[in-house]
Amino acid sequence: MVEFTAEEINFMKIALAEGQIAIEEGEVPVGVVFVHRPDSPKNTACSIDSSVSVSGPGKILGKGHNRTNATKNGTRHAELVIVDEILARGNPPSVFQECDVYVTCEPCIMCAGALSLLKIRRVVFGCKNDRFGGCGSILSVHGAPHLRHRYVADAGLMENEAITLFKSFYARENRQAPDTKRRKKGLSAVT
């Protein structure tokens, strides 16, 4: 079990706050924080080193949340939205080699693959994604031997808080969902 630092807990609190904003905007509550750690070793090796340590304070390079409903684009997951914002501010793609990502929920397979292409250093997530998880729950994209770049993925930071956030979202009706996908009040899920 990984022991997380006070600084890492604070970064996850920011990601959870972004997840709450997502709920208020009618989005799935995935919040993310990209933390630049130029004093830490770059993750350029092709092997996963579970001993990657956090050395020196990190600087938030970007933070945000899902924008799939607002943009009507299923690829606008929190991780990809913030990658685009970081690059739009003129940062070179190589900056991601010095970044750790804190996200409320395990990155999906698509996002886990994108983070590998960016050569991200490390991903820390709150709760697992048992439907689409790309960092161990469904696939282990982060450590796939055929990829040129693999990264460390640590699960369970503020897991209960992340689960609570998702439960609060799913307790509400998703107004953005098509009529055929909406829950009908008073009807059983089993027919």
Instruction: Give the active site residues.
Output: 79
Residue 135 in 3-state DSSP? strand
Residues paired with residue 101 on neighbouring β-strands, in sequence order: 34, 123
DSSP H or E stretch at residue 125: strand 122-127
Distances (CA, A) of 87 to 83, 165, 172, 176, 183: 6, 29, 34, 29, 39
Closest CA to 19 of 66, 55, 59: 66
Round to whole Å and give the CA distance between 165 and 168.
Answer: 5
